[in-house]
Structure 1
Amino acid sequence: MGVAEVLFLGIALGTDAFSVSVAIGTKQLDWLLILKLSLVIGAFHILMPLIGIQLGYFLQKFFSYYYFQETIDQLTTAIGAGLLLILGMIMIYDSMTEEQEVSQFNLYGFSIIILAFSVSIDALSVGFSLGMLDTGLLVSCLILGVIAALMVVIGLLLGTKLGNLVEKAEVLGGITLILLGIHFILTIG
């Protein structure tokens, strides 16, 4: 997986965090809280794919004992691409069916961790896909985390102006994941 693909993946993953940040941004937060939220969410967007990548590597090694290496590479690529397709469809479905209610959400203490976990859980599945696709571990995760943190800052700062575009951003993120999944399916030899 190249850097451009990881960048697109980071933007697609960051749309959840961005959309929640836009909603939270309407509360007129101070700079310290904006920094704290972006750093914690960015860290979770690094940690969750790392965990997923390790699971992907483990399963790839496990299956390679039972199949020829060429077959396992094709199988793991297909599984990873399939997960991206499914995750993209889920993001699109969620954006059309759920109203995100964050106006009553307390933004201090443990609730920041819960918020960061909830907007980065999809990064676990993507990390799993990255592990199955045998991509660069640390650089990919750092890129995902930096992009997510930047998208959170942008979302928080522009919350009052972009509130009506949140749904479109999530749909675009879902479409990007689906296109990445299709791209990887087409690379299976």
Structure 2
Amino acid sequence: MNIIEVVALGVALGTDAFSVSVAIGTKRLRLLLLLKFSLIIGIFHVIMPLVGVELGLFLHNLFGNYYFEGTIDKITTTIGSGVLMILGMIMIYENFKSDQVDSNFDLYGWSLIIVALSVSIDALSVGFSLGMLDANIVFSCMILGFIATVMVICGLTLGDKIGSLVSGNAEVLGGVALILLGIHFLLS
């Protein structure tokens, strides 16, 4: 696998993280939270393919030649889509619950990890494929993580600009976008 193929794969994997970041960016995150969120998603885009390679080897050794990739793909997509839809519903609920705009979006601890996991879970199945290809797996995963980090920063920044335009309804717009993204990922 050459560098252009790895970059193309990174952009393809980063699109869902970018889309979710635009929706979350409408909350107008502080710079520190923006960087932290971007780095955590980037780290997950490094770790998940590595876990996928190991998980693929484990399942292959455990069950022989039975092909599990399609089943695991469906399960991880369903979980990731569900998490995005739930996060979107929470954002909409919080907007209607309080009249004040909270610029410090509640995105820390486990909620931060869950969102990062939901947008990087597709990288798990990529790990199955990377293990079968002639690729430097660690180098490829580092590139995937870097591209995801950059795409998330761009998405959060774009979301902030969109949030400024729609002001009070930004949280509802972001929540609806997350729900629609979850449905899209579930159906595709």
TM-score (norm: length of structure 1):
0.63
Is residue 56–residue 132 contact of structure 1 (8 Å, CA) maintained in 2? no
C-alpha change, 1:133 and 1:55, in structure 2 (3 Å) is: farther
Code of the residue aligned with 1:117 in structure 2: it is L
Counterpart in the other structure of 2:56 = 56
Counterpart in the other structure of 2:162 = 161
User: By how many angstroms is 1:110 displaced?
Assistant: 1.4
Task: Give deviations 1:5-56, integer Å, cap 9, x for gaps.
Answer: 1111111111111111000110111100001100111111100000112233
User: By how many angstroms is 1:128 displaced?
Assistant: 1.1
d(CA) in 1 for partners of 2:38, 2:86:
22
Residue 135 of structure 1: SS of its match in structure 2? coil
d(CA) in 2 for partners of 1:106, 1:113:
12
Counterpart in the other structure of 1:69 = none
C-alpha RMSD of the superposition: 3.4
Is residue 50–residue 137 contact of structure 1 (8 Å, CA) maintained in 2? yes
d(CA) in 1 for partners of 2:86, 2:40:
23
d(CA) in 2 for partners of 1:16, 1:158:
14
Residue 112 of structure 1: SS of its match in structure 2? helix
C-alpha change, 1:135 and 1:57, in structure 2 (3 Å) is: farther
d(CA) in 2 for partners of 1:12, 1:28:
25
| Matching of residue 47 in structure 1 with residue 47 in structure 2 | yes
Number of equivalenced pairs:
147
Task: Give deviations 1:30-88, integer Å, cap 9, x for gaps.
Answer: 1000011001111111000001122334567x49xx8xxxxx9xxx9xx98x89xx78x
Instruction: Give percent identity, aligned residues only.
Output: 54
d(CA) in 2 for partners of 1:43, 1:111:
16
d(CA) in 1 for partners of 2:21, 2:153:
8
d(CA) in 2 for partners of 1:110, 1:59:
28
User: By how many angstroms is 1:148 displaced?
Assistant: 0.6
**Which runs of 5 or more residues in structure 1 are unaligned?**
67-71, 175-189
TM-score (norm: length of structure 2):
0.64
Residue 121 of structure 2: SS of its match in structure 1? helix
User: By how many angstroms is 1:136 displaced?
Assistant: 1.2
User: By how many angstroms is 1:161 displaced?
Assistant: 3.5
Counterpart in the other structure of 2:167 = none
d(CA) in 2 for partners of 1:118, 1:124:
11
| Matching of residue 6 in structure 1 with residue 1 in structure 2 | no
**Which runs of 5 or more residues in structure 2 are unaligned?**
95-104, 164-172
Counterpart in the other structure of 1:125 = 125
